[in-house]
Every structure is written in C-alpha cells, then in structure tokens.
C-alpha cells in the first residue's frame, strides 16, 4: 500500500471533492478529482459522455483514469461514485493508498444534489428510489476496500477533515485530547458551537417537519418564532422539568410575541394515564383554547406522548411542537408521531399517530439529566445501531466512555445519527405497517418488564436495554448471530450503565405479558431479532428456545 496516497470513495454527493480539497490542503498534497480528470482528457462533460457514448464507455474511461492516478504518489484522490464497480479499480484503490469511505444517507444526498443537473444517474422521475438502489448495490463494494469509514452528515468540512486525520493517525493528540475510547475526539471537536444547530427532515410529504439539534435553542426567540405559527401556545411540562426550564422557555416564547399558558403534570411513567390526559383537556377548555392554539411538549417521553395525544384529540387535531429534554426522548419518542397513554394491561395501547410541526432538541438540557436517565437514552441509540447500522454500532462501542461522560460533540453526533436513522424508517413506514416495527428491538421483553414490575419501577430505556440483551441471546440460540456478536451487545448495554439481568416474573407471567403486544398476530408473540448484527428480522420463535432465553436472563 502506498501510504502517502489517500483515496476518497462514496456515493455522489457524499462530499468527496469538497472534503478532498480541504484534506489535501491540510496535508500539503496534490488534489485530484477522477471525474475532472476524465473531462480534461476527453474535452467533454460527464453528462455529455453519458448521453453520447453511454455509461459503459464512461466506465472504461473511468477505469483507465483510476489505474493511472493510483500509480502516482502523494495525492488525495476523489473518485466518482461508481469507480468501485470495476474489480481491477477496487484492487488498485485498496492496494495503492489508504481508502476513506465517506458514507452518507440518501436523504442527505438528495438535499445536496436535488437541483444538480450534472448527475446523469439522478435524472429520473424518482431520484430517491434510484439513490436507494445505488446505495444497496455499492455500499458493500465501498466497505470491501475501505480502510476507514467516515459519516458525512455533519455539515462542517473542517470537522470531517479532523475526523479523517485522527483515524489515519496523521495528527498527534495534544494535551487536551480526550483519549477514552478507540477513536478519540480532540478539544477542538468537543467545541460544537461552530457546528450546530443541525437540521434534519422527517420526509412525510405534506406532514414533513424538521428536527433541529443544537445548543441553547430553548431561549432562541427567532427559532421559536419561525417554527410556531399561531399566537397562542400552551406548554405542557412536569414538576421536574418546570423548575429548570419553564421560565426561560416562556420568556423566549413571549419575546417571540406568543401568548403563553402552562400545564404542569406530575412526573413519572405511572402518570402517563387517562387522568393526566384529562388534566390537559381541562386546562385547554378552561382557557377557551381554539384550533389555532399550539401545544408544546417540554419534557421527556411521557410528556411528549401525552401532549401529542392531546393535540391529536383536542378539537380533532391542533398543532404541536416537541421540545424533548431527555436523551431518550431526543432520539426516540419525539420523532415519528407515535403518541398515547398506558393502560394497566399494556403499555402505549391507547393512542394515535400524529406528527409534530417540529422537533426542537436543545442538547444543553442533558447537563441536568440524572445518570440513570442518560443511560436510558443510550439504550435507544444502541438499539437503532444494532438493528440497522452496524458501523454506527462500532462507533458507539468506540465512544461509549465519551457518551457516558456526556462529551458534547460525541453525544450530539449520536443524537444526529440516531434521529437520521429513525426519520428514514418513519418515512418508509409512518404507521408501523411493517418496517417500522423493527424499531421495537428489545421492546417485547422490555414492555413485559415494565408492565410486570409496575410502570416507573424501571425506566423505559432500562427495560429496553435488558430486552436487547435478551433478544441478542435469543438471536444467538436460533443461530442468527455468533457468540461474539451476542457478547458485544450485552457488553455495550452494560457499558452504558443498563441492566442485563431480567427480573424473575415467573414463566407464565412473562408469557402473559408478552402476549399483550401490538406486534403480535394471531396470538403468536413476535420478536425483533438480529440476523446478523445490523440486520433485523421479525418472527415468532419456538417455545423451548424462548424458555431457555428467559431462564438464562433471570440467572
């Protein structure tokens, strides 16, 4: 391997050219773009070559350019998205330099290339579908040759360059470097003020809405004014959050010209019930709130679910905004429109799908979050990685110490990546008709724990964490994952500060509780399992295998 060459690969729009130029400048190397080299050699643009000669001819030209450029020394090369389709080109890239795979989501690519007419492969009636096809086809080839994988969702180019340099070992850590975890973050990366806020989009057509992630957003009157259209707002919060954030948030709302009333509910999962819902309705009706009133959920998942259900029901639907203040709600319950209350016979069994107008995630609220609540949020971050994104799972393993320590940059990145994954799943299956059910990994066991012990005894994230360890064990017993993968899941759950030993509810009680689950069909208990790590499967399991997992989990 010619170590002084760096080759950037990835889908179109991943930022290879932009990042490559900045990286080359930082390292004092020559930057080359393979597409630009093809145009220079032919005297024709890429779209023209595609149109006149066809893609096959373009690929031959591309392979020649890759062969020649990889033979040079001391360059940073940005390759075309399809350069890895040629087996010999893949070999040249892997053997003649360090390959960095800039990985990004289809949604991010669409945002960056939506109006770019110089992308021949995207000139179709459905560019999203085309990109999804390209991603499925090419992602395994990028991984095959990559020495380093970098996610490019973060918008700051210099941050990307520093991430690459750190992973390549090309920068020496200074005295302020954080060294816990396999992939350290420097003090410069920890200062996120220059990178945020970040905005994602939950793409649901006319019901689409943004997720804004950043610091000190609760007191940003301009941001609030932009996302809350009506003049009258009702802030729903609880007795724990209100003393911390209600006053500054109310002042920001008033500075934005809003008329504000507040509804303060008791804190705790045990209060996610009909009585709390009626308390919201009583306050709204008592104040003669109309359909233009905006409900704002200021709090964790219980407040978000209650407020969303109230908004869906009051006058048959009024606007609402999610302002999640716990890590769990920031990465899970605030995104996707699932609202509801608990019933003594089952968790979240009464509710509605109702999307917010925006999700405003202020990461500064995590500073006051108890350690137990932080761990509960980490459970959901681990969950989405385990079922959908194996490289993200690797990243969490490498950075779990920083996450537990609340490293600002690391935890913000985890929130962003988790929300991006969930937003994409919700886009494909808004009402949990199929795909979205995979987000319930660990929940079949977890909900049984919560119901069996009584709501509030274990936090939701604690129950899900234990449930994930049990689901991993079940996956292993069925031969879907190997022993190492099972242990990785259990160890990561433990490292996050979550329980992995299940309460002894009794075999009969376990089965009774798991039979009351929205995923079940025809009386058969459905589980989300790993097949393998990073890929989910939904299925019922043989009773003897389930019994073995229950016995092992209880010890």
Catalytic positions, please?
A: 316, 338, 380, 422, 432, 436, 440, 443, 447, 460
Contact 463, 450 (CB under 8 A): yes
Contact 321, 249 (CB under 8 A): no
List all residues 6 or more positions away from 394 whose beta carbon is below 8 Å from its beta carbon.
none
Contact 119, 113 (CB under 8 A): yes
List all residues 6 or more positions away from 151 whose beta carbon is below 8 Å from its beta carbon.
103, 104, 391, 392, 395, 417
Dist CA 462 CA 262 (whole Å): 30
User: Measuring CA to CA, how many Å separate 474 from each of 471, 530, 539, 550?
Assistant: 5, 9, 11, 9
Tokens of 441: 């990994």
496 Rama class: left (phi>0) / alpha (psi -120 to 50) / beta = alpha
Contact 167, 398 (CB under 8 A): no
What residue spans of 100-148 are helical by DSSP H?
106-113, 127-145
List the one residue out of 282, 310, 305, 283 whose CA is nearest residue 295.
310
Distance from the Cα of residue 108 to its chain's centroid: 13
- Burial of residue 286 (CB within 10 Å: 0-12, 13-18, 19+) is exposed
Dist CA 490 CA 485 (whole Å): 9
């Amino acid at each position: 391997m010619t170590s002084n060459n760096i080759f950037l690969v990835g889908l179109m729009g991943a930022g290879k050219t932009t990042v490559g130029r900045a990286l080359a400048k930082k390292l004092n190397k020559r930057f080359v773009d393979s597409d630009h080299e093809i145009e220079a050699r032919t005297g024709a643009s890429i779209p023209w070559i595609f149109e006149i000669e066809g893609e096959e001819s373009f690929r031959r030209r591309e392979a020649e350019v890759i062969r020649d450029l990889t033979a040079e020394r001391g360059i940073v090369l940005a390759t075309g998205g399809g350069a890895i389709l040629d087996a010999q080109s893949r070999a040249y890239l892997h053997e003649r330099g360090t390959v960095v795979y800039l990985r990004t989501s289809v949604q991010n690519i669409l945002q960056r290339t939506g109006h770019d007419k110089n992308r021949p492969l995207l000139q179709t009636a459905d560019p999203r579908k085309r990109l999804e096809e390209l991603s499925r086809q090419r992602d395994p080839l990028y991984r095959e040759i990559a020495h380093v994988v970098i996610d490019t969702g973060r918008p700051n180019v210099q941050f990307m360059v520093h991430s690459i340099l750190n992973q390549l070992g090309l920068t020496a850590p200074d005295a302020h470097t954080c060294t816990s975890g396999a992939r350290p973050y420097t003090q410069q990366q920890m200062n996120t003020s220059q990178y945020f806020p970040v905005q994602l989009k939950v793409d649901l057509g006319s019901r689409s809405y943004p997720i804004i992630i950043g610091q000190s957003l609760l007191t940003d009157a301009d941001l609030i004014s932009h996302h809350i259209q009506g003049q009258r707002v009702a802030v729903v919060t609880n007795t724990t959050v209100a003393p911390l954030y209600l006053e500054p948030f109310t002042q920001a709302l008033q500075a934005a010209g809003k008329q504000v009333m507040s509804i303060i509910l008791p804190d705790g999962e045990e209060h996610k019930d009909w009585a709390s819902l009626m308390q919201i309705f009583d306050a709204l009706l008592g104040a003669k709130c109309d359909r233009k009133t905006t409900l704002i959920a200021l709090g964790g998942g219980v407040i978000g679910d209650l407020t969303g259900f109230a908004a869906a029901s009051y006058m048959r639907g009024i606007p609402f905004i999610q302002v999640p203040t716990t890590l769990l709600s920031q990465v899970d319950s605030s995104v996707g429109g699932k609202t509801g209350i608990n019933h003594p016979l089952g968790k979240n069994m009464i509710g509605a799908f109702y999307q917010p107008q925006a999700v405003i995630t202020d990461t500064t609220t995590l500073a006051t979050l108890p350690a137990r609540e932080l761990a509960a949020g980490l459970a959901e971050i681990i969950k989405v990685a385990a079922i959908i994104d194996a490289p993200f799972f690797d990243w969490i393993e490498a950075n779990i110490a920083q996450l537990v320590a609340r490293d600002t940059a690391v935890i913000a990145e985890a929130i962003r990546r988790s929300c991006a994954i969930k937003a994409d799943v919700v886009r494909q299956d808004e009402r949990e008709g199929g795909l979205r059910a995979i987000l319930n990994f660990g929940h079949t066991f977890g909900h049984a724990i919560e119901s069996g012990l009584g709501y509030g005894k274990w936090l939701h994230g604690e129950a899900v964490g234990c449930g994930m360890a049990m689901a991993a064990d079940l996956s292993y017993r069925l031969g879907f994952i190997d022993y190492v993968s099972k242990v990785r899941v259990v160890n990561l759950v433990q490292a996050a500060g979550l329980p992995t030993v299940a309460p002894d509810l009794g075999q009969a009680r376990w089965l009774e509780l798991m039979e009351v689950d929205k995923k079940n069909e025809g009386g058969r208990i459905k589980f989300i399992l790993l097949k393998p790590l990073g890929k989910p499967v939904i299925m019922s399991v043989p009773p003897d295998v389930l019994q073995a997992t229950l016995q092992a989990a209880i010890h």
